[in-house]
Structure 1
Amino acid sequence: MSVAAANSWFSGLFSSGGATSSHSLSSHRLFCASRRPYLLSASKPSKDVNQNPVKGKPKKLLSKSEKEKEAVLQKFPSISRDGSSLSNADGRSTWNKTGRSQLTSYKSSGLPRKGNKGLLVDSTKQLVETGNLQDAAFLNAVVKVYCTHTAPDYSLPWQKQRQYTSTGSAFMIGQGKLLTNAHCVEHDTQVKVKRRGEDTKYVAKVLARGVECDIALLSVEKEEFWDGAEPLQLGRLPNLQDAVTVVGYPLGGETISVSKGVVSRIEVTSYAHGSSELLGIQIDAAINPGNSGGPAFNDQGECIGVAFQVYRSDDVENIGYVIPTTVVSHFLEDYERNGKYTGFPCLGVLLQKLENPALRACLNVPTNEGVLVRKVEPTSQASSALKEGDVIVSFDNVRVGCEGTVPFRSTERIAFRYLISQKFTGDIADIGIIRGGQFMKVQVVLNPRVHLVPYHIEGGQPSYLIVAGLVFTPLSEPLIEEECEDSIGLKLLAKARYSMAKFKGEQIVVLSQVLANEENIGYEDMSNEQVLKLNGTWIRNIHHLAHLVDSCKDKYLVFEFDDNFLVVLERESALAASTSMLKDYGIPSERSPDLLEPYVDSIVENEGAMDQHQFGDSPVTNSEFGYDGLLWAAWAQSNRTHYCNSTRPIRSPELGLVKAELSLIRPSDEF
């Protein structure tokens, strides 16, 4: 019955011309891919006077370029002399916005040449049709990824959700390593990879996972997996209108897939998985679920990036995104330097553009440049060097424009944060500022941003504490997503969206739910409420709360929530009842393993400073960065649809477990 319902749901989604209904553009937007058959059309071989000269006429002499082309044809016999395939499809069926089937022909792409140093190409050589690259060596470096995921249950943090599987793409980069997207192996319990044309899957290990840049590094220990393998080489950053070829294993079939397009735009882009903003390449080539983690090539056969997400909206078409090689190289160098991924640093300030002449005059800025520091994050190193009201006019001697942009290549400009993303954790930046009309230079140590409400949980399992049936856990974006924004409440949601961490390790601790018992009579209906104090002490994080409970000697445990709401428990009676309650609800432990470690107080500031729970004073959204429709194009055959307070997988006998999720990006002026 569930299969029939799923098939009915899929057919309903693509009915009425295939247009997406308006309600699908909500925060839990739905996107799924339906399998469509390939349109096979065998191309006939063309007659060539050089190959079959007409009887009685002399054979035509070949020029130098024609001789090179003939050599290519001898090396790749499946490519015909008119550029078409002799025995394979020269096109495939795509499903456009109106629901009609259209034939998309593959266009040109570079032809690689083998060498003893990886992938060596010559841009002057004759290009061939993309649809005829089935024998190209660099395609053999692209593998299919099979991942089994077991995600935490953030509403019931002592357990995990039911496992599901997905497929994606990856490619070889040498030294026994593969690159793919971080979201392809998120919450992985098993990762396997399979090479093109083989039927053996090999177990892979995740070495590093970069959430912000959506890149993961894999390794395969079995030596036979690497027999005859030629790793890909990373190419340069492409230019606008450069041809790009996306290779991977998307929905629609089991074999490798190739799609062709051009580079449409290069700018700082919102990354859906990490909710970060890094350099991105926009292309118009088809990127579908399963393409994620696959490489994108230029016409010379060089890898220019990693496919990872698409933009879905009724108002746009064919907008896909590729992680450029500059970001990939930063990730790999970070891993080589530190033996692990440490993240992309940030400056830790909120900025305002200085386009208005009166504003510049008021701040004593003589030229049409610079951006205003309107807030400094307390946890950043910039708090010791920068102040509110400073105007940043240069970063490492690069002038910053009044729109927050800096020169990029020859005739382009790019967002100021691009320069910051080129740095590594612990690097020092020289910043030129105007303070009180006086120019000066300061130095700032760059570190990754401290998120008050994290987008991903380190270690994969959320922390929790149960006291007499009261379930406490830190607020996180996955918890908000599971619980549904409506059940969180506007006030708590505003804190989650706009508050800043005042010190490293600060968390918003919430009472997730109450497990009904005679010890907590009258509190059963409470859920998703922030707890502020225990017996008059401000709570810094979930570990601090556990420490306060363990060290309490008072008769009562008095929990204070927003709006002065109180929960009072008799301490000895509540703690004594916890053991039987855990048994009744089948919970293995009253707290997560990380809370069993001794609590170390890292706060040196006066505790009176904790009595300042400000919120609503951080970044203001700007339509210029309004990427609220980004949807990662991956999790082939593993997309799930999110319902309020639950997650239900939709099954299809043809596609397996399908997950559709829209990741909202919070636009900001954060640097």
Structure 2
Amino acid sequence: MHAMTFAALFALASAAAPPWDAVVRIEVAAVAPSYMRPWEKAAQQRQGGTGFLVDGRRILTNHHVIENAVDIRLSKTGNSKRWRARVVAMGPDVDLAALEVIENADEFFADLTPVAWSYELPPLQSRVTVRGYPLGGNAQSVTEGVVSRVDCKNYRLGATSSISPGRSLVVQIDAAINGGNSGGPAFDASNRVIGVAFQGIDGAQSIGYIIPALLARTFLTAVVSAPKFRLADVPFRIQHLENRGLRRYLQVPDRVTGVVVSAPNDVITHLDGVSVGDDGTVPLRPGERVSLDYLITSKVHDAPTELSILRYGRSLTLRAQLVPLPPPLPRWHDFDCTPEWVIIGGLVFSPLTAPLIEDASSGGVRSYVHDIFTREVGAKNGFNTEPAREVVVLLDVLNGGDVNHGYEAEGWKVLTHLNGQAVESLAGLYFLWQQATRDGAAFLEFGFGGGTERKIVLEQAAPG
């Protein structure tokens, strides 16, 4: 009896695939758009990363691994064959994407088992193993380290980092995360996935970041019903409440902590029953505090949220179901925007988007780009106060004839009117232009608001 039981257990253990067999290599052919010259595209490039099998025959990876992909191929450990795949869900807010195999899927999944997830944040100093396919070789790579810190981080980098939905939980580890590791799993000592590798810091040693399993599972749950995932936005901007004069002005008792949100100067003291510190942090675990943002950005959409506030000494409770808010600008290429343009008499107009800002800032942020971004986003505290309006900018003047001779591109200008009528979107601009043409308007007068910009007037048709 004992021999049979041992044999059965041994056979079962031998048949079970090790968890790292679920880790696959991703090879991508990508074509990046150009938002500065929206009718053009960049040359095709090769990029790669790592993914791993999760329930539902999906491969989880980073969004930046498959960004701009025109062809995706997967390969397994110890197998030279490539299988075609496609993106079926994406969440650029959390840098995650899900893939499905689109040919010979049964063959691909025959000897693979989905990973097992960890359902708690890893303790500090606990062991972590990162598996993936970094640069420098074709075989699967293994790096080990420990959990150094759990914190909150803005997942959006670059010139438009301020338009992110809010900061989200991130786990810092000292195991190496190099180019190609992105999208790979990080395992704990029990071979459970505690997160998804997604970022290192150039020039820094032993600092890597993984997306916690909590966020990855939230993403996978949400995209079952909708292929595009967005975080619930943090619906307020805070000011620390550490100044004694400010506390007295707002009638905050000495033992009460919290943060200030403007209009009407409410003080948030608790979020979902969790006490908020004067510096905007909340307890995560004993001895650890992180930004209060994570209590919102870790939630699935429509989850109930409760705010306890003080309004000039009076206690109030606000309850709501938080959802993604209209962003101040479209945030992501091929998610909520694509390159669009209208050319009228050599004047190139395009919507103002975050990818356009990033494209224009690739060699450093130009002053006119910074000015427009500050006016359209920064002055509104990062919120979209006019969701029906699409900001249209004059990108360039393509000289080459009498019609626009004498007009030169002097940096971007926000278009506000055409022949005295308000421009609310690029489609609206096109409609007004066509209407003026049908009505036989002799001139097109482009207004750029403020009264200080030089006007641009084009003659519709040369005199006979």
Q: TM-score, normalised by structure 1?
A: 0.61
Post-superposition offset of 1:490? 4.3
Gaps of 5+ in 2: 1-5
Bigger Cα displacement from structure 2, 531-540 vs 323-332 = 531-540
Partner of 1:350: 237
Instruction: Work out which of the residue numbers 269, 292, 310 in structure 2 matches 1:434.
Output: 310
Bigger Cα displacement from structure 2, 195-204 vs 453-462 = 453-462
SS in 2 for 1:234: coil
1:337-486 correspondence to structure 2 within 5 Å: 338-366=225-253, 367-374=255-262, 387-459=263-335, 461-484=338-361, 485-486=365-366
Instruction: Work out which of the residue numbers 495, 498, 519 in structure 1 matches 2:403.
Output: 519
CA contact (8 A) 1:514 1:526 kept: no
SS in 2 for 1:296: strand
Instruction: Work out which of the residue numbers 69, 89, 106 in structure 2 matches 1:223.
Output: 106
Residue type at the aligned position of 1:509: V
CA contact (8 A) 2:329 2:352 kept: yes
Residue type at the aligned position of 1:566: K
**Equivalents in 1 of 2:74, 2:238: separation in Å?**
44
Post-superposition offset of 1:396? 2.0
Post-superposition offset of 1:346? 1.6
Partner of 1:246: 130
Rg comparison, structure with higher value: 1
Instruction: Work out which of the residue numbers 145, 159, 167 in structure 1 matches 2:48.
Output: 167
Q: 1:444 to 1:241 in 2, by over 3 A?
A: same
Post-superposition offset of 1:489? 4.6
Q: 1:350 to 1:545 in 2, by over 3 A?
A: same
Post-superposition offset of 1:206? 0.5
CA contact (8 A) 2:252 2:312 kept: no
Partner of 2:62: 181
Q: 1:444 to 1:243 in 2, by over 3 A?
A: same
Residue type at the aligned position of 2:303: D
Instruction: Work out which of the residue numbers 76, 83, 93 in structure 2 matches 1:195.
Output: 76
**Equivalents in 2 of 1:113, 1:328: separation in Å?**
28
Q: 1:489 to 1:461 in 2, by over 3 A?
A: closer
**CA-to-partner distance for each residue in 1:527-573, whole Å, 9 max, x for gaps?**
42222222233333322222322333443221112523201122356
**Equivalents in 2 of 1:529, 1:269: separation in Å?**
33
CA contact (8 A) 1:168 1:292 kept: yes
- 1:148 corresponds to 2:29: yes
Q: What is the number of residues matched between the two proteins? A: 433
CA contact (8 A) 1:370 1:393 kept: yes
- 1:510 corresponds to 2:393: yes
Partner of 1:98: none
Partner of 1:78: none
**CA-to-partner distance for each residue in 1:69-100, whole Å, 9 max, x for gaps?**
xx9xxx8xxxxxxxxxxxxxxxxxxxxxxxxx
Residue type at the aligned position of 1:479: L
- 1:494 corresponds to 2:371: no
Post-superposition offset of 1:356? 1.6
**CA-to-partner distance for each residue in 1:443-490, whole Å, 9 max, x for gaps?**
234222433233323456312111111110112233233333226454
**Equivalents in 1 of 2:145, 2:376: separation in Å?**
39
Q: 1:522 to 1:453 in 2, by over 3 A?
A: same
Post-superposition offset of 1:357? 2.3
SS in 1 for 2:223: helix
Residue type at the aligned position of 1:462: P
Residue type at the aligned position of 1:454: P
**Equivalents in 2 of 1:113, 1:361: separation in Å?**
66
**Equivalents in 2 of 1:468, 1:332: separation in Å?**
48
**Equivalents in 1 of 2:97, 2:229: separation in Å?**
13
Post-superposition offset of 1:496? 5.2
**CA-to-partner distance for each residue in 1:202-255, whole Å, 9 max, x for gaps?**
001101110110000011142100111111011132010001111000011111
Instruction: Work out which of the residue numbers 184, 187, 193 in structure 2 matches 1:294.
Output: 184
**CA-to-partner distance for each residue in 1:319-362, whole Å, 9 max, x for gaps?**
110001011011011112x3323311123211101112221111
Residue type at the aligned position of 1:409: R
CA contact (8 A) 2:328 2:377 kept: no
**Equivalents in 1 of 2:156, 2:177: separation in Å?**
15
CA contact (8 A) 1:272 1:309 kept: no
SS in 2 for 1:361: helix
Gaps of 5+ in 1: 1-70, 76-111, 117-135, 375-386, 575-671
CA contact (8 A) 2:172 2:207 kept: yes
**Equivalents in 1 of 2:418, 2:319: separation in Å?**
40
CA contact (8 A) 2:62 2:182 kept: yes
Partner of 2:460: 571
**Equivalents in 2 of 1:502, 1:270: separation in Å?**
22
Report 1 or 2 for greater relative contact order, CA contacts < 8 Å, sequence distance ≥ 6.
Answer: 1
SS in 2 for 1:151: coil
Q: 1:435 to 1:550 in 2, by over 3 A?
A: farther
Residue type at the aligned position of 2:84: V
- 1:535 corresponds to 2:419: yes
SS in 2 for 1:479: helix
Structural RMSD (CA)? 2.5
**Equivalents in 2 of 1:503, 1:494: separation in Å?**
16
SS in 2 for 1:551: helix
Q: 1:322 to 1:190 in 2, by over 3 A?
A: same
**Equivalents in 1 of 2:115, 2:462: separation in Å?**
64
SS in 1 for 2:237: strand
CA contact (8 A) 2:357 2:369 kept: no
Q: 1:556 to 1:455 in 2, by over 3 A?
A: same
CA contact (8 A) 2:199 2:210 kept: yes
Bigger Cα displacement from structure 2, 209-218 vs 404-413 = 404-413
Post-superposition offset of 1:497? 5.3
**CA-to-partner distance for each residue in 1:164-201, whole Å, 9 max, x for gaps?**
11111000113211100000001111111001100110
**CA-to-partner distance for each residue in 1:138-180, whole Å, 9 max, x for gaps?**
1111100011111111122123221111111000113211100
**CA-to-partner distance for each residue in 1:53-74, whole Å, 9 max, x for gaps?**
xxxxxxxxxxxxxxxxxx9xxx
Q: 1:512 to 1:114 in 2, by over 3 A?
A: farther
CA contact (8 A) 1:514 1:525 kept: yes
**CA-to-partner distance for each residue in 1:359-414, whole Å, 9 max, x for gaps?**
1111011133111112xxxxxxxxxxxx3311111222222221112221334222
Q: 1:556 to 1:320 in 2, by over 3 A?
A: same
Partner of 2:223: 335
Residue type at the aligned position of 1:477: A
Q: 1:327 to 1:296 in 2, by over 3 A?
A: same
Residue type at the aligned position of 2:216: V
